[in-house]
Amino acid sequence: MANNTMKEIAEVLLDAQSVLIFPHINMDGDAVGSSVALCRQLRKLGKDCWILAEDAMPGNLVFIGQGYFTEDHELIKNADVSVCVDCGAFSRFPARKEKFLEGKKTVCIDHHQTTEEFCDYNYVDPMAAATGELIWTLLKEMGAEADAEIGQAIFAAIATDTGNFQYSNTTKNCHLIMAELYDWGVDTNKASVEIYENERLEKLQITVKALNTLEILGDNISKAAVAHITLADMDACGAEPAETDGVIDKLRSIRGVEYAAFLKEKEPGVIRVSMRAKRRGNVAEIASKYDGGGHIKAAGCTLYMSMEEALAVIKKELEAAAAAL
């Protein structure tokens, strides 16, 4: 994978007048935070810039994203640059593929292990804990100065993708950026309350429902935890799509569990699979077998089959993976 330099990517953006930013579907803190930070800096530089989404933003991230997102494909026509952030394949922004390619130049800024070079300019660093880290470097390259709103977006990106600086992807660089964010005027407590302590009761209810389906597989040494949720469950709880996001972390947190999988029915016959590994193991490898991808310890894929069939497929994979540890 041949990366461009950040300087080259900064120059492409500085030369542009109009820029469209493309986060992945099922936006998370890193996708939203990275997109907002870049969008705000480009607007400050006088550029016409929007983040084009194809689904709703999770409620707990709305506080960083107001005024930057649109689903209107007509707002910018033939953008000088299309940038995809926190994703590196058309399958990660399927309904916006044509729009992305309409850009006169295309750029990818991502940190997924499974991303392959597919744009005119690419910066993919699987060692980065969050795309927000890469955006931070890019902003510096573009001459960005202290800005609390940009800082808050970078904070959200890095804090969420590192599990609040707990996961093994957390590095000194994450903390160095955090240290500087204090100088940028970021209120980390306020942002944390917005992100983590402002949940709807429906989210707790759907989590309870999911945990009631918990199955533990494997032996005493290394176990796998699997849970699932159907469309009927979502309806019954009145939960929004992103409100199942925390379930997978609960599964991984169980003592002895090395692998976790959460299966969610998106439509009849379409099952979204989220997978995690704890200390050892590689879920990106498993996801890749089913046209998905991600990181070694956090990956996902979509299975086109019934929930029963999908559960059988994933349980077999995780049982074998746990036994091999």
Binding site for ligand AMP (CB under 6 A): 24, 26, 91-92, 112, 114, 248, 274, 292-295, 298-301
Any idea what DSSP says for residue 126? Answer: T
Q: Work out how close the CB of 92 gets to Mn ion at its nearest, in angstroms, rounded to a whole number.
A: 11
Q: Which stretch binds Mn ion (CB under 5 A): 119-127, 131-139, 205-213, 291-299?
A: 131-139
Residues 155-184 that bind Mn ion (CB under 5 A): 161
Q: Work out how close the CB of 251 gets to ligand AMP at its nearest, in angstroms, rounded to a whole number.
A: 11
* Cα 159-164-168 angle, rounded to 5 deg: 105
Pairing of strands 293-294, 298-303: antiparallel
What is the C-alpha separation between 190 and 196, in angstroms, rounded?
A: 10
Q: Work out how close the CB of 232 gets to ligand AMP at its nearest, in angstroms, rounded to a whole number.
A: 21
Which of the listed partners (Mn ion, ligand AMP, none) does 264 bind, with a CB threshold of 5 to 8 Å by partner kind? Answer: none
What is the C-alpha separation between 2 and 214, in angstroms, rounded?
A: 42
Burial 114-147 (b: 16+ CB within 10 A, else e): bbeeebebbbbbeebbbbbbbbbbbbebbebeeb
**Closer CB to Mn ion, 128 or 217, in the complex:** 128
For 74, 112, 207, the CA distances from 131, given in Å and listed in that order, are: 27, 9, 27
Site string for Mn ion, 245-264 (x = CB under 5 A): --------------------
Q: Work out how close the CB of 24 gets to ligand AMP at its nearest, in angstroms, rounded to a whole number.
A: 6
Provide the residue count of the chain.
325
Which of the listed partners (ligand AMP, Mn ion, none) does 301 bind, with a CB threshold of 5 to 8 Å by partner kind? Answer: ligand AMP
**Closer CB to ligand AMP, 76 or 195, in the complex:** 195
Which of the listed partners (ligand AMP, Mn ion, none) does 293 bind, with a CB threshold of 5 to 8 Å by partner kind? Answer: ligand AMP
Residue number of the CB atom closest to ligand AMP: 294
In sequence order, what are the residues at sequence separation of 6 or more whose Cβ sits closer than 8 angstroms to the Cβ of residue 88? 108, 110, 112, 114, 115, 116, 118, 124
Which of the listed partners (ligand AMP, Mn ion, none) does 106 bind, with a CB threshold of 5 to 8 Å by partner kind? Answer: none
Q: Sort 221 into a burial class: Cβ within 10 Å, 0-12 / 13-18 / 19+.
A: exposed
Q: Work out how close the CB of 125 gets to Mn ion at its nearest, in angstroms, rounded to a whole number.
A: 11
Under the binding rule (CB under 5 A), the answer on residue 110 touching Mn ion is no
Q: Work out how close the CB of 73 gets to ligand AMP at its nearest, in angstroms, rounded to a whole number.
A: 23
For 102, 247, 264, the CA distances from 208, given in Å and listed in that order, are: 44, 9, 14
Q: Work out how close the CB of 298 gets to ligand AMP at its nearest, in angstroms, rounded to a whole number.
A: 4
Number of residues that bind Mn ion (CB under 5 A): 4
**Closer CB to ligand AMP, 186 or 248, in the complex:** 248
DSSP 143-195: T----HHHHHHHHHHHHHHTTTTTSTT--HHHHHHHHHHHHTT--HHHHHHHH
**Closer CB to ligand AMP, 47 or 111, in the complex:** 111
Report phi then psi at 307, rounded to 5. Answer: -60, -40
**Closer CB to ligand AMP, 119 or 301, in the complex:** 301
Residues 228/262, Cβ–Cβ less than 8 Å:
yes
**Closer CB to ligand AMP, 26 or 152, in the complex:** 26
Q: Work out how close the CB of 152 gets to ligand AMP at its nearest, in angstroms, rounded to a whole number.
A: 21
Under the binding rule (CB under 5 A), the answer on residue 86 touching Mn ion is yes
Residues of this chain that interact with Mn ion (CB under 5 A) are 30, 86, 131, 161
